[in-house]
Amino acid sequence: MADSEKKPTPENMTMMQAFEWYVPDDHKHWKRLHDQAAQLKATGVDNIWIPPGCKASSPSGNGYDIYDLYDLGEFDQKGSKGTKWGTKDELLALVSKANEVGLGIYWDAVLNHKAAADHKERCEAQEVDEEDRNKTVSDPYEINAWLGFDFPGRGEKYSEQKYHWYHFSGTDYNADNNKTAIYKILGDKTKGWAKGGDVDGEKGNYDYLMFADLDYSHPEVEADVLAWGLWLSKQITLKGIRFDAVKHFSEDFLRKFITSMDEEHGKGWFFVGEFWKDSLDDMSRYLERMGKKFSLFDAPLVYNFSQMSKTEDADLRKVFDNTLVAIEPVNAVTLVMNHDTQPHQALEAPIEGFFKPLAYALILLRSSGYPCLFYGDMYGIDPKGTAQSFPPACGGALPNLVLARKLYAYGEQQDYFDYATCIGWVRLGTWDKRWGCAVVLSNAGPGEKRMWVGEMHAGEIWTDVLGWEKGEVKIGDDGFGMFTCPGISLSVWVNKDAEGREKFGKFDADIYKS
C-alpha cells in the first residue's frame, strides 16, 4: 500500500493537572495558565485539567469546598467576586487562548456536596458510626444545621433553585450543641443514604464524605445539576470533565449526567473519575457499571510506584502487577502524583524524588494508558519556600520526557523486562512516525540492555534525548544496539538526527517569574 493510502498514526495524547494544593492565593492562576498555554501545547501537553472553578466557601478555597455551581467567579459571594484562581472573565480568556493553540480544557466537577450555607435550618437527624454509616449511635433528634443555600449574590440568574435541608442526605455539625458528628438526615422529604450499590460500600455506605451531602434521589437536586452541566458546556468550551469523589455519590445520577452531555453535544467527551481505592476489582466493576464510557485514575499504579521508591533494589519487572492499566489499558489514566493528600483521601503515599523520572518514563513512553502530569512536578510546588516546597521533578527534565512521548514513542512495543533492577523497552515507530525510541532504566547501578530497534535503523547514531547518558550508540546491521543508562536513572535513546531533536531543553518552568 502506498504511503498516501495509509491512515496517519494517531498522536499520543497527554493531559496535565494544571494546579496543586499550594498554588499562591493571589487570584492570578487563570492568568498564569493563559500565559503557559502555548508552551504546554508545544511541549506535548494536549489537555489540561483545571482546578474547580466554581465559587468556594471563601476567597482562598481550592474549590472542593464548593458553594455555588453557577458562580464561576462572576458574583460577589463568600467574600469576593473571583475564586482563588481568578474571575470568570479571566477564566474565559484562558479558555479562548487554549482553544487558539489547540489545548483542551477538562473541568473539575465537585458534585458530591455543598459548603458554607447561607443560613441554618432545623431538621430531624440521627448520628451514625464513623466506620459503619449504616449503624446508628443515637436516637433521632432535631438538629440545627447549616443547610440553607440562597445564593444572595447571584439571585436567580442561571438557576432559580435554592437548597434546603431536604435536598441533603447528611451533614457534620449541629449548631444547637456545637457537636461535630456524621448526621444522617431524616424525614418524609429525604431518603437517607444512597441505596446500596449506588455508592461505594466502604464504611458500610460511603455516601457521606464532607460538608452538606447532596441527595441525588431528590428530583430537584438531579434536575438542577443536570441543567448545570448543560449550562457549563455552553459557557465554556470543554473537552471533558474530571469528577471529584465519584465513589461517594450516585452512580445512577452520574450515568444520567454523562448521557445528557452526550445527547446535547455528541459523543467524544472525556470523562474521568476520582475513585481512589486500592481494590482493583472494585475499580474494574465500577467501569463495567459505567458502560466503559468512563476512565479512572490508576491508584494501584501509584501505590506500586510509592512502594518501589521506598524499597532498595525493588523488582521493576513487577511495576504493573495488579494495576488498572494492566487490565483496562483504554480506561486507565496513569499518573505519578496528584494534588490531594487530605486525610479523607487514600493518597498518602508520596513517591521518593529519585524514582519520579523512572515512574514518568513508565507512564509516558509506553503504549498503554492515558498519562496525566502533575503541575507540581512540571513547575515545582509553592514558590514561597514553606515546608511543602520542592523544585520541578526529574531535575527539570519532565518536559523532555513529555516531548519524547509526543515525537517518538510510537509503534510496536518490545519489552526487555529480564532483570529485576534494570528494565528496558523499544518502540519501533510507524510508517509516518518512524523514528522510534529505546528506553533503559535502573533503580540500582548503571544499566545496559542489548535491544533490537530494527534493521531499518542500521548504521544510525542514537543519543540520549535527556542528556543524562553521554556517548553514542551505533545501530548494527542486525538492528541491535547496546543501550545504557546511569545508576538510579534512565535514558531515552533516539536517532541523533531525528526530527524534533532541536526542541528539547526549551521549557521555561518559572511560571511565577521569580
Active site residues: 244, 274
> What DSSP character marks residue 322?
T
Backbone angles phi, psi at 310, to 5 degrees: -110, 5
Antiparallel, parallel or unpaired: β 179-185 and 119-127: antiparallel
Q: What is the dihedral of CA 290, 292, 296, 299, to 10 degrees?
A: 100
Q: How far apart are CA 118 and CA 214, in angstroms?
A: 16
Q: Is 272 exposed, middle or buried (0-12, 13-18, 19+ CB in 10 A)?
A: buried
Give 378-434 as a 3 state SS string. HHCECCCCCCCCECCCHHHCHHHHHHHHHHHCCECEEEECCCCCEEEEEECECCCCC
Pick the closest to residue 75 from 51, 54, 96 (CA basis).
54
For the stretch 11-41, what's the b/e string if a residue is b when 16 or more beta carbons lie within 10 angstroms of its beta carbon? ebebbbbbbbbbbeeebbbbbbbbebbebbb
Which are the contacts of 279, defined by CB distance < 8 A and separation ≥ 6? none
Q: Are 146 and 211 in contact (CB under 8 A)?
A: no
Contact 34, 90 (CB under 8 A): yes
Q: How many CA atoms lie within 13 A of 324 on its CB side?
A: 32
Asked if residues 146 and 212 have their Cβ atoms less than 8 Å apart, the reply is yes
d(C-alpha 197, C-alpha 237), whole Å: 34
Cell of 342: 487530605
Sign of CA pseudo-dihedral 312, 319, 51, 285: negative
- Please list the alpha-helical segments (H only) found in 22-128: 29-43, 88-101
Collapsing DSSP states into helix, strand and coil, what is residue 78?
Answer: coil
- Look up residue 95 and give its amino acid: V
**Helices 299-309, 280-289: crossing angle, 10 deg rounding:** 160
Distance (Å, whole) CA 295 – CA 224: 25
Give 425's strand partners.
Answer: 415, 439
Q: Cα 405 to the chain's mean position, in Å?
A: 18
The gap from C-alpha 299 to its chain's centroid, in whole angstroms, comes to 11
